[in-house]
């Protein structure tokens, strides 16, 4: 983490779990801290951040929506411990 200039006025901003400071009137931010998140929770957040735009894009893309639905079906079948046949896409 970077050191801040003593006596300078800063605006503090949060971007998810990271906390930044930038001098008043400037645009460059300095990372000054980060929330503690367990590795397990961090992985869950990263996966959610990866899938969210896919799900949103599928709302406007029928082919993508079909692929997402197939993933959901495969997931549900895997929870039931049923063998899943491999079908080429």
SS3 (DSSP) at 72: helix
pLDDT tens readout for residues 3-49: 788 889 999 999 888 899 999 999 999 999 988 877 788 788 889 99
Beta-carbon count within 10 A of 59 CB: 10
**Sheet of 10-15: strands edge to edge?**
10-15, 18-23, 30-34
The answer to whether 5 and 22 are in contact (CB under 8 A) is no
pLDDT tens readout for residues 58-68: 999 999 999 99
In terms of pTM, does the model score above 0.85?
no
Close Cβ partners of 21 (under 8 Å, ≥ 6 residues apart): 4, 10, 11, 12, 13, 29, 30, 32
């Amino acid at each position: 983490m970077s050191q801040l200039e003593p006596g300078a006025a800063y605006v503090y901003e949060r971007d998810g779990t990271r906390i930044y400071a930038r001098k008043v009137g400037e645009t460059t931010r300095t990372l000054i801290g980060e929330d503690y998140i367990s590795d397990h929770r961090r992985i869950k957040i990263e996966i959610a951040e990866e899938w969210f735009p896919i799900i949103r894009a599928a709302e406007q893309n029928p082919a993508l929506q079909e692929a997402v639905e197939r993933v959901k079906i495969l997931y549900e079948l895997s929870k039931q411990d049923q063998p899943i046949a491999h079908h080429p896409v």
